[in-house]
Amino acid sequence: MTDHNAPVEWERARSEMYRLDATNIPYGLAVGNHDQTPNGTASAGSDTTQYTRYFGKAHFGNRPWYGGALGNNNNNDTHFDLFTANGDKYMVMYFAFNQPDYKGYNEAYEKQMLQWADSVLSAQSDRKAILVCHSMLGKPKGTTSGDKPGAGDNSLQSNFTRQGTGIYEMAKNHGNVFLMLGGHIAGEGYRKDTYNGNTIKTYLSDYQSRQSEPYGGAKDRNGGNGTMRLMRLNKTKQTLSVVTFIPQANGSVIKETDGDSQFTDALYQ
């Protein structure tokens, strides 16, 4: 949500995200390393972080889609949401950034998060589950998608980050988990894992380092130019379709059409 975890940035985040509340659009947030104090330190239940002040349990507690969070105070760093679409029940679970190879890593908190997630997934086993973490997947070798629109095709699988590895090792034991999402590393990536007959697809989409033409390095960087990704789940066709797009100030939309930016895959296989 922020770059420097500064009060003015949180005010901007509050102003923009609360617009979704005003129009009753459900949403959840994955806490990243730039949202923590100091950068990279998991808040581990702290009730005083900026994120908690604006997006804690007190803010989401009465929302009909909100499922709950790890801990007994107002902290909402690791939480889950519930929704139903086309007669199917789903859950989205969000993990706080807490990377083993990153400054401020808290091993005890990592174990606590994974144990909590394991119990929630078991309790909600009748719901298809989507897991979201700021750091889940790297990008494949050779791709330029971190800096500019690439020409990828999802043919090269990415590796999990160290936090992503831990989450997957927990998640693979739950047959209701089918999708995992992450950012943190600039670029687009994908991998597919099958364990005990259940397939989990993981996607990286992070546009923070995208440059504007002529792609001359940091001087052309524009924070992603507002690039976003829309994922459509089609129950009838049993497909997952991805569209990556850049909204323009004049109301038009530019779509990225390379193979790792716009594609359709099987939903649960």
Region of poorest pLDDT, from 7-11, 114-118, 222-226: 222-226
CB 71 within 8 A of CB 45: yes
- pLDDT tens-digit readout, 33-57: 989 876 777 666 676 788 999 999 9
- Higher pLDDT pick, 61 / 37: 61
Task: Answer whether residue 18 shows pLDDT above 80.
Answer: yes
- In Å, how far are 15, 119, 125, 228 from 19, measured between CA atoms? 7, 33, 32, 17
Tokens of 191: 């991998």
Say what the pTM is.
Answer: 0.94
Instruction: Please give, one letter per residue, the 3-state secondary structure of 224-264.
Output: CCCCEEEEEEECCCCEEEEEEEEECCCCCEEEECCCCCEEE
**Beta-strand runs (E) in 140-237:** 177-182, 187-195, 198-206, 228-234
Measured in degrees and rounded to the nearest 5, phi and psi for residue 164 equal -60, -40
For residues 225 and 253, give the distance between their C-alpha atoms in angstroms, rounded to a whole number.
Answer: 12
Q: What is the pLDDT of residue 252?
A: 92
For residues 211 and 220, give the distance between their C-alpha atoms in angstroms, rounded to a whole number.
Answer: 5
Confidence of residue 164 (pLDDT cuts 50, 70, 90): very high
For residues 51 and 75, give the distance between their C-alpha atoms in angstroms, rounded to a whole number.
Answer: 9
